[in-house]
Amino acid sequence: MTRLRALLWDVDGTLAETERDGHRVAFNQAFEALALPWRWDEARYGELLRITGGRERLLHDMTTRGDAPPTAGEREALARELHALKNRRYGELVREARLPLRGGVRELIDEAEDGGLRLAVATTTSRVNVEALMAVHFGPRWPRRFAAVVCGEDVQAKKPDPEVYRLALAGLGLPPQETVAIEDSPGGVAAACAAEIPVVVPLSAYFRAATIEGAVAIGPGLDERRGWRPGLAGAGAGRVTLADIEGWCAARDTVSQFG
């Protein structure tokens, strides 16, 4: 069995439920700040998550609105302004509300460090958003805990393109079979699989019913042993551990939450 040497973490939806309770709220506050009558409720934002990237979501949404600017250039300029406003407000929300990490995340990160594994961040969200969340939960020196941090500004193509994971692997200096990605969404799983990285999926709020293929394990959360595919021995109280992840990778069958 190949030794596991690193965990690669997605951020939004994986480390914390930031999409529903952070980014969506901040987008609506940005609309209000510019006196736009647009609002994204939870259902609409869930639909828009099929589009990777906040600015890209704005541009897609504008194609459905009769009151959006008429030209591509005007829409692009408005999307840039809204996205910048959203990112500033998101940072304030994270600091004010201290959006919590998902259950089991901190424990698995601590266990990995104690076991000598390296950690990386592989996300296509904006770096300012990553820094806001990580500083709240891991302190101002959080980058010292992560051997590689790849964000949206570092890539030409966002997930499901595998570029972000290939850059993270290069930063770690490791082959994909010695790492595991922790992801929550179909696009993130597709990106990791295209980089030949095994993927464990604690499904987030917006992707409970999504079709996800190619992961080595799919389940409700890292703080829950019940409900995982493949199932865990002693699936009672407790959390997902490194030993569980290593076992899934050793078996290396890909699974779906539907079959």
Burial of 173 from C-beta contacts in 10 A (0-12 / 13-18 / 19+)? exposed
Q: How far apart are CA 15 and CA 184, in angstroms?
A: 9
Read off φ and ψ for residue 77, nearest 5 degrees. Answer: -65, -40
Beta bridge partners of 122: 150
Pairwise CA distance, residues 252 & 62, whole Å: 42
Which residues are annotated as catalytic? 10, 12
C-beta separation of 65 from 38 below 8 A? yes
Angle at 159 between CA 215 and CA 66, to 5 degrees: 125
What is the chain's percent helix, strand, coil content, to nearest 5?
45, 10, 40
- Mode of pairing for the β-strands spanning 148-150 and 179-182: unpaired
252-259: long-range contacts (C-beta < 8 A, 24 or more apart)?
252/198, 252/216, 253/216, 254/213, 254/214, 254/215, 254/216, 255/215, 255/216, 255/217, 255/218, 255/229, 255/230, 256/211, 256/212, 256/213, 256/218, 256/229, 257/203, 257/212, 257/218, 257/229, 258/211
Could you tell me whether strands 213-215 and 255-256 are parallel, antiparallel, or unpaired per DSSP bridges?
A: antiparallel
